[in-house]
Every structure is written in structure tokens, then in C-alpha cells.
Structure 1
Amino acid sequence: MPDLILHHYPMSPFSEKVRAVLGFKKLAWQSVLIPTVMPKPDLLTLTGGYRKTPVLQIGADIYCDTALICDVLEHIQPSPTLYPAGQKGLARTLAQWADSTLFWAAMGYNLQKPGMAELFAGLPIDAIKAFAADRSAMAQGLNRPRPLDAMGAYKSYLRRMADMLDGQDFLLGEAPCIADFAAYHPLWFTRTQVPGMAGILQATPEVLGWLDRMAALGHGQMSRMTAAEAIAVCADAPAATGVTDDYFQDDHGIALGSLVSVSAESFGAEPTVGELVAATRTRFTLRRRDARAGVVQVHFPRVGYALKQELAT
């Protein structure tokens, strides 16, 4: 079993998605806490530019985006599965909806002025302004619902989830799957990070029961690690070994070995630049070199990310 290092922070909803998966699979992992806003110099030492949370590190392999992180954890620990037989496509599609449409409706509701006041109670006004400015910069060009529209949509989505949970414990059956974890984290944020806003959940008791069942999965076995220690693990790793599929899917006319950038198509679009060493059916892998971390392989999912050739300098 490889050492799993998760770079995250406690109130991050997408980090909670991965922490819950680690609990579901009963995995041991090491926790590196990162800042909630930029700058994030230690994280960028590993990723080369990607700044979203969380990031999974295994030696000198860095995995970005929770969709890919969950695939990696499934490969490491196939049972219990996140992708039930006969429902893999449905589970992935529902998860993609939850990570995007449901998430933005929930957060549009959660981060209204009362939610922001509760989330940052006791912190200096400068910290609140820094958070707001950071997230505004990440969301440039993203069409997000306004608070009242978000609230209406969130209520509708909660009713739809309640209907899915009628007569069963989880969204697609009697065991949780990737769709449950993707739908869980924005509702977890409502319930635990801005509890003054959690009254919206009371109209759907089926969803409340499901939230209890998801929370009961726990977070696995966590131990602490510093960012410096994680960077040292990367630098000391004998080689980046994360690419095991040598199939090359060339959709861009860009040869392996080319200098490229990969960036998210929407939220948090800061690019990572490196040598393209793999382009499989599901992911891109870039190799880069860093003075502190050594040779690093950074992995991104294809879905939701853009590959672009760069000019060598």
C-alpha cells in the first residue's frame, strides 16, 4: 500500500469528499494542511501552478482534481467500490452533475452574507476580504447563480435527492458510490460549516438521514505531516511511477515529449506547464522539475481540463 498524502484544509468541501472516500475505503493517509487562499508556495512547488484543493501525493506523483483522485483511490483499494457494476456510467454522470451544478447552487446559498459571517466569525475583516478576493479571482468567467436563484435551485435539488433516497439508503442503492460522495460534500458544508444556514435541509428528512450515514463512514486513519516533509518525500522518491497505461490517445496533434500546459476549463484555471509524458483515455500527465521537489509527475483528468502546446524557451 503506497503512502497517501493529502494536501487540504479542514473547511474545504472537495477535501471532505476525498476524506469521506478515504473513510469508506478504510485507508490510512497523511494530512498536510495548506492555506485557504493564495499564496500557496509549498503546494505550487509540487503542482507547478494548479492551486485548487485538495491534491493527492504519492511519492513524486501529484494527482489533481477529486474525480481523478477518486479513480486513483479505487485502483489502490478496489473494495468497497465507488463504481458499482452496471451503474458505472450513471454513477460518474451523476457525480459530475453534483460536483458542478449541485455544488454551485449549494455554495451560492451557503455563502450569502449570513453564511459568510458565520464562517468567518471572529476573524479580522482583512481575512474575509482576502478570501472573497481569492475566490472571485478563481471564478473569473464562471457563470454562477445569484443567491436567491441558488437557493431555489438548491431546494429543488434536495427534493430530487430525497426522491432518489426513497426506499434506499444511498443515491443508487444500498451502498454508497461516487455519486454519493460528490453530492455529499456541498451539503456537508451547509450542515457543518454554516449551520445557521442548515434549515434548508429540514424539509427533506430523507436527505438528513443520508447525511448521517455518509458522516458515519469517517475519514480513515489520519496522521500529520508538514509541507516540508511532503516535499522531501517527493524529492527522495526514486522515480515517479504513476503512469501505468502506455496507451496514447492523441486528440490534439501534440506529440509526447512536447512542452505543454494543462489548465481547468472553468474555476481555478491557473496552468501547469511541463513535458507531456502521457495522454491516456482518462488523463494527462506532465513531467516537471523543481529545485525543491525534484522530478515531479503531475496528473490531470481529461474531462474538465484543457491541453495546450507551449513554445519552448
Structure 2
Amino acid sequence: MADLILHHYPTSPFAEKIRLILGYKNLSWKSVIIPMIMPKPDMVALTGGYRKTPVLQIGADIYCDTALICDVLEHLQPTPSLYPAPGKGLERTLAHWADTTLFWTAMAFNLQPKGVAQMFGDLPPEAARAFGEDRKAMGAGMVRLRPADAAAAYRSYLRRLSDMLHGRPFLLGDAPTVADFAAYHPLWFTRVRTSVLADILDNVPDVLNWMDSMAAIGHGSMEQFNSTDAIAIAAASTPADLHDDIFQDEHGIPLGSRVSISGESFGPEPSEGELIAATRMHYTLRRTDPRAGTVHVHFPRIGYCLKAAAQA
């Protein structure tokens, strides 16, 4: 198997989700640290525009969004499973709720002034402003909860997680599923990155115990790597064959068309290329970059918008 290269930064909550899954599956991986905010020229050379964190690279195949990365890692290392029977649909649905509703509620709470002050306390004021402007651009048009409303909702969601954990070690049973990794990472941000606000967790001891169990999984075997070498690997590699050739057309856009794909709500920066797959679960673009060569960039269907590229 080609090396797993994760493009991420240490304080990214979604990256923590994937780092723990790599540990859970006992996988070795290479770590490329990317900037927290734009510009990200090396990552964009691989994705063509997508800039959310993390991105998984395997040779000349570039996988965007943690929902898809989870599926890729499950395929590469089926055990222990992220989707154990019989609750596969429940696990995916709960994970989607955690990655969206729970995540944005937690982050609205975490990024109140007290949390931001801790995050950027040792840095010049320009750092906090740059971060705020970057995330504002990524979430243009999103409705954001005010901190007080977020705190009320967050407490309710924490109680619901606590109810699920009462009498069992993980959310859906005796072993973690994709739902545990998805629910953990926004709470991890509260506990680790904005710890001045972490007393919100004190009233849910079952959640704290579960978080300790999740943290104990660790990150597997990691090797530091650099983006220049990662791009060179992409340029020297050939994308893997596409095994699922079933075309599910929802847009009236045939394979071979020039298209763009962008996040439906957060991260609107489009990636453009030739549509070579549109299956039940994902899209794949073929694109060529002067530095990265020909790559296949993969996206999940859920959460992303496909459009025909504007004609020059």
C-alpha cells in the first residue's frame, strides 16, 4: 500500500478525528503540517482549490472531507471497523449530526471572546484578526449561533451524549464507531484548545470518562514529512484505477465534462477538473497541476455541490 499522507495542522478538530482513526486502525502515516489559514499553495496544488483540513493523499489520489477519508481508511484496513453491523446507518447518521450540528454549536461556544483570547494569547493581535477573516470568508452566508445560544444548545447536546453513554463505554456499544470519532473532536477542542471554557463538561462525567477512553487510542505510528516531497510523490505516481464505475447522474452532466465542486455551506472555494466518476457515494475529478502532475481528487456527494464549469 502506498504511504498515507495526512495534510493537517495540530489544532484542527477534524484532523484530530482522523488522527485518532489512524491510531484506532493501527495505521502508519506521514504528517504534513499545513497553514491554519490561507494561503495554502502546496495543498491547493493537490486539490485545485479545496482548502479545508485535513486532506488525505495516497500517491496521486487526493481525498477531501473526513466523511470520505473514513470510508477510504475503512477500505484499506477493515478491522476494527468504523461501521460495525448491524448499525451502519445509525452510525453514519449520528456521525453526520456530530460533524455538522454538534460541531458548529461547539465551535460557536468555543470561539466566544474568552476562548479566542486563550487561543491567540501569546500571538500578536493580527493573528486573531487574520484567523477571524479567514473563517468568515470560508463561512460566507452561514447562520452562526451567538455564544449564549450556543452554550444552551451545547449543554443539551452534552446531556444527550451522556445519556447514550450511561452504562456503556462508547456511544453505541462496547467499541467505538465512526459516531464516537465524529462526536469527540469538537469536545476535544473545548477541552484542549479552549480549556478556559471546559467547565461546561464538568456536569457530564460519563462524557469525560468517554473522552479519556477516546484520547487513549492515540494517533498510531506517525512520521514527519514535508509538502514539497508530498507533491513530488503525487507527480511521480499514477492515480489508482476506479473500481466503482456505476454512474449516478443527478445533474445532467455527463462524465468527461469540465466541472467544479465546492462545499455547500462552509469552504466555498471550488475545485475544477474533468468529472470522471459520480457514484452513489462520491465524485472524482481528474486535474493536472504544473507541480503535482495528474491527480484524482475525490469528494463525498453529501455536503458538496457539483456544477458545470463556466465556459471561458
TM-score, normalised with respect to structure 2? 0.99
User: Is there any run of 5+ residues in structure 1 with no aligned partner, and where?
Assistant: none
Query: SS in structure 2 opposite 1:203?
Result: coil
RMSD between aligned residues: 0.8
Match of 1:171 in 2: 171
Q: CA deviation at 1:194?
A: 1.1
Query: SS in structure 2 opposite 1:105?
Result: helix
Whichever residue aligns with residue 212 of structure 2, its letter is D
Match of 2:254 in 1: 255
Match of 1:271 in 2: 270
Residue deviations 1:137-179 (CA, integer Å, cap 9, x gap): 1111111211100000000000000000011000000000000
Cα separation, 1, equivalents of 2:18 and 2:153: 25
Query: SS in structure 1 opposite 2:142?
Result: coil
Whichever residue aligns with residue 56 of structure 2, its letter is L
User: Is there any run of 5+ residues in structure 2 with no aligned partner, and where?
Assistant: none
Task: State whether residues 235 and 295 of structure 1, in contact with CA within 8 Å, keep that contact through their aligned partners in structure 2.
Answer: yes
Whichever residue aligns with residue 254 of structure 1, its letter is I
Whichever residue aligns with residue 12 of structure 1, its letter is S
Report whether the alignment pairs 1:184 with 2:179: no
Cα separation, 1, equivalents of 2:204 and 2:133: 34
Residue deviations 1:204-226 (CA, integer Å, cap 9, x gap): 00000000000000001000110
Match of 2:94 in 1: 94
Match of 2:243 in 1: 244
Match of 1:14 in 2: 14
Task: State whether residues 54 and 64 of structure 1, in contact with CA within 8 Å, keep that contact through their aligned partners in structure 2.
Answer: yes
Match of 2:195 in 1: 195
Distance 1:161 1:4, change over 3 A: same
Cα separation, 1, equivalents of 2:310 and 2:149: 43
Whichever residue aligns with residue 292 of structure 1, its letter is R
State, as a whole percentage, how many aligned pairs show the same letter: 63
Task: State whether residues 259 and 312 of structure 1, in contact with CA within 8 Å, keep that contact through their aligned partners in structure 2.
Answer: no
Match of 1:228 in 2: 228
Cα separation, 2, equivalents of 1:291 and 1:12: 29
Match of 1:305 in 2: 304
Please show how residues 1-313 of structure 1 align to structure 2 within 5 Å.
Answer: 1-237=1-237, 239-241=238-240, 243-313=242-312
Cα separation, 1, equivalents of 2:230 and 2:27: 18
Query: SS in structure 1 opposite 2:288?
Result: strand
Q: CA deviation at 1:243?
A: 2.4
Aligned residue pairs, count: 312
Query: SS in structure 2 opposite 1:85?
Result: coil
Q: CA deviation at 1:2?
A: 2.5
- Which piece of structure 1 moves more, 242-251 or 147-156? 242-251
